[in-house]
Structure 1
Amino acid sequence: MSDHGRRFTYQPALDGLRALAVAAVLAFHGGVAALPGGFLGVDAFFVLSGFLITSLLLAEHRATGRLDLVAFWGRRVRRLLPALLVVLVVALLVSRRLLPATEIGALRWDALAALGYVANWRMADRDGDYFAATGSPSPLQHTWSLGIEEQFYLLWPVLVAVLLGWAAGRGDRHRPDGAGPRRLLLVTAVGAVVSAVTAAVLFSPGSVDRVYYGTDTRAVALLVGAALAALVATRTPVADPSPATRPRVPHPVLGALAALGAVATALLWTTADGGSRWLYRGGLTVAALATAAVVGHVVLSPRSPTARVLALPPLVALGRISYGIYLWHWPLFQWLTAERVGLTGGALLGARCAATMIAATASYLLVERPIRRARRLPVRAGAAVTATAAVTAAAVAVFATVPPALAPAPPVALDATAAGAAGPAASGSTGPGSAAPVPPVRRPGRPPGKPRVVFLGDSVSWSLGTYLPAQDELAVTVRAVQGCGIARLPELRYVGDPHPNYPGCDRWDERWRRGVRSDAPDVAVILLDRWELMDRKLDGRWQHVGDPAFDRYLTGELDRAVAVAGERGAHVTLLTAPYTHRAERPDGGLWPEDEPGRVDAWNRLLRSTADRHGATVLDLNRRACPDGRFAWDAGGVRLRSDGLHFTPEGVGRWIAPWLLPQLYRIAVKGG
């Protein structure tokens, strides 16, 4: 509760409320279907923080007539930063081994943003990096809420000091009702309204990141808590009233408000959706007011049934370590996947929660409590220790996340005769160069030269084409567009949530056509492996590959894709989509777009399209998944970086020796 109890009475029931809030967050992140709105537990923390911090500031001002802001900020740093530093260092070191190389750079910036307590703005602006925006959730993603709280801790005390100093300067400080708290109440009420209106104005159905992570749009909960503190202060002229002397407040009114708040909270936690319009147009404000009603009842009626229930020892104990639970739960939930621990559903959630409790308890006993109790640590020494720890964490963020250097892949020898003998279905052709060199390819409208191959498709095609080793006998260009498949239907679901098409994806055929006309390729390679497998709304209902109507829609787009790719006379080559394991559902299951059945259905469409157009099909799925199921490794190398995209070493050492000779044969022999 308080860093120095002589100024503000400890309320065990508020720790109990913390426990319920963090339990809701864990249940939400653990995929508990009954709590789709459990993420609002964070808003309960915001209300508590706003109330407690403002109460501390008002109590200190009443007791001393001033606010020691440096001391206040020092206590906040000592309370919050050490445990965060430990999490940052561990997360960075573990992620170096577990995260794909394509996401390490983004994690480095996530760590630095968390260290600077601006992670919320970092998370609101990740769309500029496709792999970060669509990749696995950052193990530091949850630090966004810490950023908002720390920004509040930095700015709010200054405003409170100004308002209280203004009231004191007018001779109001010793008035029993307290003009300062009344002015503060007015400011917080206006600020909460402004925050709520800002969220409503900035909300966009296609992307909620700005309003979900923004300090201005989420400050409503903090300001509601601060307003409650100011309201309570106008009713309690004594700086630190004990439960025995605190003015009695009618229980029926407070009890009714608390009951209404509890019911509203339960409804929101069991029904809210993070992408709902109503949530950002009043819903967050209702959630904050509901929590504030419970907090107000607990504080002003400490002997009420509400306070007694929330003060039960198990809840209080959980609430005391709630900060560590919140810090550790998210990275541990990301690391303890169903694939790694062999558990799903309730068993997986239980294992994750147990690991979180162990880590949080250790953090509380070994880091948080000892540092908080070391009150005699000199200010300069404390500052030096904190600065050293912060610099260490920053250094880890910079150096521990630098991916190791990789040895270049060996060159692939190409030979038209050998490659032709291997055939397009061969799974291990290397095309040894024993025959005479093939003369330059001659095509109308372009000078003679080595065969040209262009890669079209999405980010999987981009990773494959980009990581192919350079060849003297073959010119390869990559026109694949990250984030864009060929399905244009605007309403889709990505890892269970609504997701818009990226800008320009509805004009993919125009972008492909420009690339084909510019390159004049001999072979046009098409690889599509994600966006066509997702649920999309067609004819007013959600459908996916394998549904007859959706298959007809995809077939029409595939026909157009083949026509555009072969517009300049290139031989079109379709690569089958490999099985994927991009992300797990919170309960450990697969998201629909990762289901093998959908991949098989898509590959059947590819083959039927190839038959109609005389195109070639190369079975990349068989090469990438030789055992008939998703595989991270093949041929003794790491093949997938993130369960979807290919690694440079996997392409260079396993796929290129199989693929390039076949493309070379098709280019020089025409199929």
Structure 2
Amino acid sequence: MPDRVVSPPPVPISLLERPSGHRSRVRPPERLRLAHRPALDGLRAVAVVVVLLYHGGISWLPGGWLGVDAFFVLSGYLITTLLLAEHERTGRIRLGAFWARRVRRLLPALLTVVATVLGGARWLVPPEELEALGPDALAALGYVANWRMLNRGDGYAVLTAAPSPLQHTWSLALEEQFYLLWPLLVVATLALRSARTLLIGTLAAAAASAGAMALLYVPDAEPARAYYGSDTRAFGLLVGCALALVLSARRYRPGHAVQRRWSPVTLAAVGTLGAALLLLDDAGPTLYRGGLVVVVLAVAAVISHAERHPDGLTARALSVSPLPRIGRASYELYLWHWPVFLALDHQRTGLDGPMLLVARCAVTIVLAELTFHLISQPVRGGRWPRRGRLRPALTTLSAVSCVAAAAVLLTTPPTPRPATPEGPVAAMPSTVRSALLTRPGRGPGPLRITVFGDSVAHSLAVGLPPLTGARLTNRALIGCGIARSGPVRNAARIQEPYERCPQWDTHWADGVRADRPDLAVVVLARWEVLDRKLHGRWQHIGQPEYDAYLRSELARMVRVLTADGARVVLATAPYNHRYERRDGSLYPEDDPARMDAWNRMLEDTARADPERVRIVDLAARLCPDGRYTRDVDGVRVRSDGLHLTAGGVRDYLAPWLVPQLVGAAR
């Protein structure tokens, strides 16, 4: 984000055009100087406030995320103005000094936030997702977080993980890439050509960037490439750069009378921004195929009016207290708000709605103010570390190195405790009397149990200790249920089924032929209750067409698993609390009513075929109070709101489940 808001005084001159030969009619050119503009601080305040409200779950502000694009336009405008002013004043641009100022302004607060997130990582991030946080932190420090968030990997754990506490640093990365490359282009163009050439090239690049966003957007798919790409989002910064070039060439002297009316262009821009905030969410072709361009141009129009008329209505409105004060610390507010909002969720605080938002904002403001006054301002003003050629560089290198080392050391997942038999917990009866063991074609040997299902089934299978008197095999398909249509909505993100999921029945049939199990234990606890596209329409459990589809898939599942004479053991699905909406409420797939409907289907399936299908009430065991429960009887049984912990399976579930399996085999 840019330095303290500064802008040129309104005096007539042209950088893009040479003065005409009628010198008597042209004012002598005045140097491009910089003066503080509270209005632009106020614009930054509005931008950061709407971002906080959006991430806080204010439902009537679906376009609050557009505050980030306001920052982009403002950054392009201010940085270009700074560079042009220095070039006009000295005939050159000292790149080293420019980049040093950027480091002093941006890096101290970023290091503080990243170090704090890493320090609280084991409390803030589920163990299964801890490993991804290290690369997130390194990407934030290297200012490539936008590309990191675009491609955090293709494994199930990454693709279905909760948002990273450092996800918001993608926008800072985009700005820092701009700070690195744009001055080089300005220096080269002004040395070889002219400011007019720079303007034309800037407009062409902005148009190409907007075109790339439109081309790379794919309807009904996750728009990450169009949203995070440096190339697809650069037009916001470039429009700000173009505005600086135009205004620096046409410096306006304000009239003596205060402008009492907004111009039609300004009114249209303000109306466009208001409509975008109230109507434009972060999905859909309208946004990516021109909508965001219109928003960026509207922001540029507001900046232009505030600059050309510093005593006008726009500037005065944006200068109303406390907006300029908030704007000066907007960088720190933005840095802190996302990890604070993730940490203070409904599950940890018991709050939701407006009260949760108030608590989150209060903590964010306190942390931002402390960082601004105790860290950012002293470093930026040169009060710490003391000035010198070597000390600041060594201090910066040491701080970055320490945080980078923490990113590696603090995000290494703890070594799981090895599963060991614990007496009767892991013991099957020496002889299990069951017709399953003596069915035709079945060879001699202990009871054979195979686990089928999704990632929750996998977490159950890997957590069970070795069973004395039985053989356990894990055939769970991580990321797959038995519903094979797609795409699905997972925490409002559109996700295509994994390649192997539509062929789940083939994979399970292969497992039955290989293992020849006596008991086929099935755990399906997620994918069937998501919103899913079926026959071209988004549907979910509880709707007749979709319910009929699920029942047919369950019937197919029973046929596949009992083909060799095995008995199916269906486990009811516990309530989940995987993600929260921004206001602390649950996403539809975690609605207990959906899981109740799914469990009724499982129970109906068992009642319809009692000889081949049995039911075990895993839901009641994991949710004894009839609601999602993370800890039961002092044992952590759920790790991330969905999956089972190894300790919970070993110490809490296994002593209960083994007798259940013995009973199902009889």
Query: Is the shorter-chain TM-score for this pair beyond 0.5, marking a shared fold?
Result: yes
User: Residue 452 of structure 2: SS of its match in structure 1?
Assistant: strand
Is 354-363 or 500-509 further displaced after alignment?
Answer: 500-509
Instruction: Give the Å deviation of 1:535.
Output: 2.6
Taking the aligned partners of 2:440 and 2:135, their CA distance within structure 1 comes to 50
Alignment correspondent of 2:18? none
1:377 partner SS: coil
Q: How much has 1:539 moved relative to structure 2?
A: 6.1
Match status 1:201 vs 2:215: yes
Query: Which segments of 5 or more consecutive residues in structure 2 lack a partner in the other structure?
Result: 7-31
Q: Distance in 1 between matches of 2:171 and 2:313?
A: 31
SS in structure 2 of the partner of residue 141 of structure 1: coil
Give the 5 Å matches for 1:9-158. 9-158=35-184
In structure 1, what is the Cα distance between the partners aligned to 2:440 and 2:658? 24
Give the SS at the match of 1:183: helix
Q: Mean alpha-carbon deviation: is it higher for 328-337 or for 129-138?
A: 129-138
State the 1:252 CA deviation: 10
Distance 1:232 1:44 in 2: 18
Partner in structure 1 of residue 348 of structure 2: 340
Offset, 1:508: 2.2
Retained in 2: the 8 A contact 1:413–1:433? no
Which residue among 159, 180, 190 is the counterpart of 2:204? 190
Q: Deviations over 1:375-430 (max 9, x none)?
A: 7622321111111110111111111223344543441557xxxxxxxxxxxxxxx4
TM normalised by structure 1 equals 0.89
CA contact (8 A) 2:520 2:566 kept: yes
Q: Is the 8 A contact 1:412 1:471 kept in 2?
A: no
1:210-246, CA deviations, whole angstroms, 9 ceiling, x for partnerless residues? 111111111110111111111112223xxxxxx8x57
Offset, 1:540: 6.3
1: CA distance between counterparts of 2:565 and 2:422?
Answer: 26
The answer for the alignment partner of 2:409 in structure 1 is: 399
Q: Which residue of 2 aligns with 1:612?
A: 608
2:397: which partner in 1?
A: 387
Give the corresponding residue for 2:11.
Answer: none
Structure 2: how far apart are the matches of 1:250 and 1:4? 22
Superposed CA offset, 1:585-628 (max 9, x none): 21221222112222111111001111223301111111212222
Please state how far the C-alpha of 1:340 moved relative to its aligned partner. Answer: 1.9
Question: What's the TM-score, normalizing by structure 2?
Answer: 0.90
The aligned residue for residue 639 of structure 2 is 641
Residue 359 of structure 2: aligned partner: 351
What code does the residue aligned with 1:392 have?
C
Give the stretch that moved more between structures: 544-553 or 434-443. 434-443
Q: Secondary structure at the match of 1:476?
A: strand
Q: Deviations over 1:507-538 (max 9, x none)?
A: 32222223323332222111111111123345
Deviation at 1:445, TM superposition (A): 6.2
CA distance in 1, matches of 2:258, 2:485: 58
CA distance in 2, matches of 1:388, 1:78: 14
Secondary structure of the structure 2 residue equivalent to 1:454 = strand
Q: Distance in 1 between matches of 2:137 and 2:439?
A: 52
Worse-superposed segment, 193-202 or 491-500 = 491-500
Secondary structure of 1:195's aligned partner? helix
Distance in 2 separating the partners of 1:253 and 1:195: 35
d(CA) in 1 for partners of 2:367, 2:200: 42
Q: What is the DSSP-based 3-state SS (H/G/I as helix, E as strand, rest coil) of the residue aligned with 1:379?
A: coil
**1:285 and 2:293 aligned:** yes
Alignment partner of 1:309 out of 309, 312, 317: 317
Are 2:146 and 2:230, in contact at CA under 8 Å, matched by a contact in 1?
yes
Q: Is the 8 A contact 1:181 1:233 kept in 2?
A: no
- Tell me the residue number matched to 1:551: 547
Q: CA separation in 2, counterparts of 1:165 and 1:444?
A: 89
Classify the secondary structure of the residue corresponding to 1:525. strand
Q: CA deviation at 1:453?
A: 2.1
Q: Distance in 2 between matches of 1:389 and 1:489?
A: 50
Q: Distance in 2 between matches of 1:304 and 1:3?
A: 21
Residue 225 of structure 2 aligns with which residue?
210
In structure 2, the CA distance between the partners of 1:275 and 1:445, relative to structure 1 (3 Å rule), is farther
- In the alignment, is the contact (CA less than 8 A) between 1:468 and 1:656 conserved in 2? yes
Partner of 2:649: 651
Paired amino acid for 1:181: A
Q: How many angstroms does 1:655 deviate by?
A: 1.4
Q: Distance in 2 between matches of 1:469 and 1:109?
A: 33
| Unpaired runs of at least 5, structure 1 | 168-179, 237-242, 415-429
Stretch of structure 1 that moved more, 543-552 or 87-96 = 543-552
Match of residue 330 from structure 1: 338
Separation in structure 2 between the aligned mates of residue 567 and residue 12 of structure 1, nearest angstrom = 75
2:320 aligned partner, one-letter code: L
Give the length in aligned residue pairs. Answer: 634
Q: Distance in 1 between matches of 2:352 and 2:285?
A: 32
* 2:267 paired residue among 259, 262, 273: 259
Paired residue secondary structure (1:493): strand
Which residue of structure 1 lines up, in the alignment, with residue 246 of structure 2? 231
Distance 2:505 2:428 in 1: 37
State the alpha-carbon separation in 2 of the partners of residues 42 and 158 from structure 1: 24
3-state SS of paired residue (2:36): coil
Counterpart for residue 453 of structure 2: 457
Taking a change above 3 Å as real, the CA distance of residues 488 and 437 of structure 1, as seen in their structure-2 partners, is: closer
Contact 1:36 1:272 in 2 (8 A): yes
1:556-597 deviation line (CA, Å, top 9, x unaligned): 111111212222322111110011111122122122211222
- Indicate conservation of the 8 Å contact 2:430/2:469, yes or no: no
Deviates more, 1:596-605 or 1:81-90: 596-605
Equivalent AA in structure 1 for residue 53 of structure 2: A
Deviations 1:611-658 (A, max 9, x none): 223301111111212222211112422111101011111112211222
Return the alpha-carbon distance in structure 2 between the equivalents of residues 132 and 449 of structure 1.
40
1:629 aligns to what?
627
Does residue 1:377 correspond to 2:387, yes or no?
yes
Q: 1:285 deviation in Å?
A: 1.1
1:586 aligned residue: 582
Specify which of 481, 487, 506 is matched with residue 483 of structure 2: 487
Contact in 1 for aligned 2:62/2:278 (Cα 8 Å) = yes
Q: Identify the range of structure 1 (464-473 vs 280-289) with the bigger mean alpha-carbon deviation.
A: 464-473
Verify the 8 A CA contact 2:258 2:311 in the aligned structure 1.
no
SS at the partner of 2:514? helix
Q: Which moved more, 1:539-548 or 1:272-281?
A: 539-548
508-517 vs 206-215, greater mean Cα deviation: 508-517
CA distance in 2, matches of 1:307, 1:162: 34
In the TM superposition, what are the counterparts of 1:363-442 in structure 2 within 5 Å?
A: 363-374=371-382, 377-413=387-423, 430=425, 435=430
- Check whether the contact 1:60–1:67 (CA below 8 A) recurs between aligned residues: yes
- Aligned-pair identity (%): 49
Q: For 1:197 and 1:434, how far apart are their aligned partners in 2?
A: 68
Cα distance in 2 between the residues matched to 1:317 and 1:110: 31
| Partners of 1:410 and 1:653 within 8 A in 2 | no
> How far off is 1:275 after superposition?
1.9
CA distance in 1, matches of 2:317, 2:571: 61
